[in-house]
Amino acid sequence: MADILYFVVPCYNEEEVLPETSKRLLEKLHELIGRGDVSDKSRILFVDDGSKDKTWQIISDLHAKDSHFSGVKESRNRGHQNALLAGLFTAAKYADVTISMDADLQDDIGAVDKMIEEYKKGFDVVYGVRSARKTDTFFKRATAEGFYKIMKAMGVDIVFNHADYRLMSRRAVEGLLQFKEVNLFLRGMVPMVGYPSSKVYYERAERFAGESKYPLKKMLAFAFEGITSFSTKPLKFINVFALLFLLLGFAATVATGVLYGLGFVGSWTILLSAMAFFTGVILLAVGIVGAYVGKNYLESKHRPSFIIEQVINDGEEK
């Protein structure tokens, strides 16, 4: 029996693109079913993220016409990442494998075949990676690529130029669902789930119709979310400054003390140096508090400590 594939597509006010997206996805699904790559029980699952336009109406009509279309409606708009997780959560009940993609056809549907190929080779996660950003403006490209670099520097394990176009096996989705955090940054979480992964390259197209639902303000918020949801490095920077002030302040206090003794400088210079030293002391105290805050933050996420891929053992379970 061929595996059941679920496409998971978050939609927020996408009435302009849904008719075309659904048509193209259905063509692709028929192609995959026809070739015997996936089961006829496979579905295209649209997640309505609290849209204010006719998005849900369109999804229900699609389902009425062809049961290969299905839908999930959230009670209100919660943002792309939550919508995607809601879709994966639903799909995991029915599917062997999922592919998440945007509704606006920016993620090249042509890459699906290669993703399925990689999945059949035994990869649980296949990341869709943008090979070119020709259609992006210089500004979007520079900010996006800068973002990946900053994330790496912060020690967050993310795949360069990969957004949320990815294939995930059922066990990978189930692993992801064990992460109980509410500040979602899925492209940082999926690598943490582990399992064998692979990449497929595609050219990012322009949005088929309608406007981006991610204006600059949301993009910056998302980047900040990514860093603060994954890295405690900003807290550790405090210690670097603490050390700097401590050393410089101490050296300066000694130096100005000697210079004052020799009559070269006024007593206020010692005061100034001592102030730098005590700033270092205060920063160190803040840094120590930061270390505990950082631990607390990680504990509060209740992330799984491990996900077991395989056990080989011939003992009997008690």
**Interface residue list for Mg ion (CB under 5 A):** 102, 104, 106, 207
Instruction: Tell the smallest beta-carbon distance from residue 102 to Mg ion (Å).
Output: 5
Q: Is 14 in the site for ligand UDP (CB under 6 A)?
A: yes
Task: Return the closest-CA partner of residue 162 out of 176, 151, 173.
Answer: 151
- Residue from 32, 83, 86, 158 touching ligand UDP (CB under 6 A): that is 83
Other Cβ atoms within 10 Å of 219 Cβ, number: 15
Per-position x/- string for 142-181, each x denoting binding to ligand UDP as judged by CB under 6 A, each - no binding: ----------------------------------------
Query: Whole-angstrom Cα distance, residue 284 to residue 101?
Result: 46
Closer residue to ligand UDP, CB minimum distance, 209 or 255: 209
CB-side exposure of 5: number of CA atoms within 13 Å?
28
Per-position x/- string for 268-297, each x denoting binding to ligand UDP as judged by CB under 6 A, each - no binding: ------------------------------
| Assigned token pair, 106 | 């920016």
Q: Is 201 in the site for ligand UDP (CB under 6 A)?
A: no
Closer residue to Mg ion, CB minimum distance, 48 or 102: 102
Instruction: Tell the smallest beta-carbon distance from residue 9 to Mg ion (Å).
Output: 12
Residue 166 touches which member of ligand UDP, Mg ion, none, C-beta under 5-8 Å by kind: none
- Residues numbered 100 to 119 that lie near ligand UDP (CB under 6 A) are 102-104, 106
Other Cβ atoms within 10 Å of 7 Cβ, number: 26
Query: Whole-angstrom Cα distance, residue 130 to residue 281?
Result: 47
- Residues numbered 34 to 73 that lie near ligand UDP (CB under 6 A) are 49
Residue 213 touches which member of Mg ion, ligand UDP, none, C-beta under 5-8 Å by kind: ligand UDP
The interface region with ligand UDP, picked from 99-107, 246-254, 293-301, 302-310 by CB under 6 A, is 99-107
Length of the chain: 318
| Assigned token pair, 108 | 């090249």
- Residues numbered 210 to 229 that lie near ligand UDP (CB under 6 A) are 212-214
Residue 10 touches which member of Mg ion, ligand UDP, none, C-beta under 5-8 Å by kind: ligand UDP
Which residue, chain included where needed, has tokens 């981006």?
A: 212
Given the rule CB under 6 A, which residues bind ligand UDP? Answer: 10-12, 14, 49, 77, 79-80, 83, 102-104, 106, 207, 212-214
